[in-house]
Amino acid sequence: MVAFFVPCARAWWRTAGGWPRSWPKHCSGRERACSWWGRAEELAMASKPLAGRRIIVTRAQRQADSLLASLRELGAEPILCPAIVIAPPVSYAPLDAAIQHINDYQWLIFTSVNGVRSFRERLNTVGVPPARLHSLHIAAIGPATAQALVEVGLIPSFVPQSYVAEAIVAEIGDIRGQRILLPRADIARAALAIGLRDRGALVDEIDAYRTVPARNRAIGGLLANADVITFTSSSTVRYFLTALGAEGWAAEDAKEQLNRLVVACIGPITAATASDHGLRVDIVAREYTTAGLVVALVQWFAGVSEKPRSEINHE
């Protein structure tokens, strides 16, 4: 009777638009309870759109907590496999010197949360209070970087509409003759500095941190049981493939195995890197943040992804 009643209760909900005001006379208390649990199960599934999806997260471990938590909240089984580690620069001397002369600059531009954290640590080390930066224009490449600035007492005055270096160049305004300090990763793209110089700015690029390969063991074994792999920067793509090669995977075998998964990228730059390395990119977040990546994953598995696969690699 219970097995018969639960589908009936679900059908009643769909046709009546809610639970009935009174139950049919033949419904026992047990049947009513089972129908309630059946509806609860449906609601739980609806609130867990990534239920059962095993999703590899390649982000640096110290940055991965919020992404892991979001995926778990939506029912996924995240697998942390960092492709990169954030390390100090070879020397802090250039950054420390720039901080000591910070008021020689008109602009301070951050392109990552890691850059903000490293810069703030060196402010403390050098003994320069954040108040000395209040005369500068401070730019953040996106909302996560802007939030990191706020958390360390620095207020960004400019965030571009699109969270890529090219948008900073296009939207920053007249910077001719102005000095810009750009604390960045050792392997950061040159596009931002080149673009700013082309617009007449005097740019000092300084390594605030290094991005180095993580040391993981047997990462290839994770791929067989995973559904999705996520990449949150070009370096996560390159170093994950490097790690597979270090385990003895031939390049073509590694690409073939990865292309059996759903490949999800945080934005078009990361997607282009993945494509250049022979990966078939399935998902590119519309908003280039980890929150945007999670939304894109939900949309993909709900069948409402905004971009067809064939268009993604041409951005």
pLDDT value for 80: 96
pLDDT value for 5: 28
Where do we find the tokens 């282009």? 272
- Encode pLDDT of 238-279 as tens digits: 999 999 999 999 999 999 999 999 999 999 999 999 999 999
Lowest mean pLDDT among 17-21, 118-122, 182-186, 273-277: 17-21
Domains defined for the chain, CATH in brackets = 54-83+216-312 (3.40.50.10090), 87-212 (3.40.50.10090)
- Encode pLDDT of 6-17 as tens digits: 333 333 333 333
pLDDT value for 117: 96
- Encode pLDDT of 58-96 as tens digits: 999 999 999 999 999 999 999 999 999 999 999 999 999
DSSP string, the chain: -HHHHHHHHHHHHHHHSS--SS--TT--HHHHHHHHHHHHHHHHHHH-TTTT-EEEE-S-GGG-HHHHHHHHHTT-EEEE--SEEEE--S-SHHHHHHHHTGGG-SEEEE-SHHHHHHHHHHHHHHT--GGGGTTSEEEESSHHHHHHHHHTT---SB--SSSSHHHHHHHS---TT-EEEEEEETT--SHHHHHHHHTT-EEEEEEEEEEEE---SSTHHHHTT-SEEEE-SHHHHHHHHHHHHHTT--HHHHHHHHTTSEEEESSHHHHHHHHHTT----EE-SSSSHHHHHHHHHHHHHT--SS-HHHHTT-
Query: What is the model's pTM?
Result: 0.79
Residue 289's pLDDT band (boundaries 50, 70, 90)? very high
- Encode pLDDT of 198-245 as tens digits: 999 999 999 999 999 998 778 888 998 999 999 999 999 999 999 999
